[in-house]
Amino acid sequence: MRLDNKTVVVATRNEGKLREFAAMLEPAGLRVIGLRDVPGAPEVVEDGETFAANAAKKAVEIATYLGMPALADDSGLCVEALGGEPGVYSARYAGEGASDEANNAKLLARLSQPEFAAGSIAAPDGLKLLSRASYVCVLVLYDPATGETVETKGTVEGWIAAEARGQGGFGYDPYFYLPEYGRTMAELSMEEKNAISHRGAALRKLAARLDGQA
C-alpha cells in the first residue's frame, strides 16, 4: 500500500498511544497527528464484537469524515483466568469513561476472588502473579482516496501482577508483567516497549506493508 498523502491521522485522543504511533511511523516518513489536532472529528461508537471490527469502523469513519488516511487500533487485555476478559471492553472495563485506575482496580478485584487463587504463582523476586494474560492489538489503515485497507495484528504474552510497578506506559501496563524481562510493561523504556509490545509488533508489520515489503 502506498500513500500519496503522507499525513496520517491516528483515531485516538490518547496522548500516550499517539506517542507510540509517532515513534514507530515518523521514521518511515509519515506525519502522525491525533484527533485532538482535528477538532470536530466524530466520536466513533466501538460496538464491534472483535478488535478488528472496532478498528475498521474507526478507521473508515474518521478517514471518510476528514478525507485523509486514518489509522485506528483496537487493543486490549485478554486475561486467561477470566475467559478473555476484559477484551474489547478493556478501555471501559469499569464503565464508560472509566480511568486507568478504575479499570485496574476492577481487574484486581475480579482476580482476587477465591476461585482464581489456585492459578497464581510467584515471580523469582516474590511478586505475586495472578493469571496468564495477553495484550492484543489490531491496526487498520484506510485510505479514502483509493479505498484500500491494510490490517495487521500483534500480541505479547505475560502475567497480571498483584501490585503495580513502574511509572511508564498507560492502561494496564503497571500490572502487565513480562517474565523474560523481570519487569512490568510500565518499567520498560519507550524503545524497549516498542520492541516487544503488541502495538509495536502490529506497527512493524504495518510499516513493512507501507514499504511494499509484505
Binding residues for substrate: 12-17, 75, 170-173, 193, 198-199
Question: What length does the chain have?
Answer: 214
The annotation places the binding site at 12-17, 74-75, 170-173, 193, 198-199
Q: Clarify whether 47 is annotated catalytic.
A: no
CB 74 within 8 A of CB 63: no
CA separation for the pair 82, 107 (Å, rounded): 9
Alpha helices in the chain (DSSP H): 15-25, 51-66, 100-111, 190-196, 198-210
CA separation for the pair 195, 1 (Å, rounded): 23
Alpha helices in 42-188 (DSSP H): 51-66, 100-111
CB 36 within 8 A of CB 189: no
CA separation for the pair 133, 158 (Å, rounded): 5
Longest dimension (CA), the chain: 56
Q: Which of 74, 125, 143, 211 is catalytic?
A: 74
The annotation places the binding site for Mg(2+) at 74
Here the cell at position 64 is: 471518510
Number of helical H runs and strand E runs in the chain: 5, 8
Active-site residue set: 74
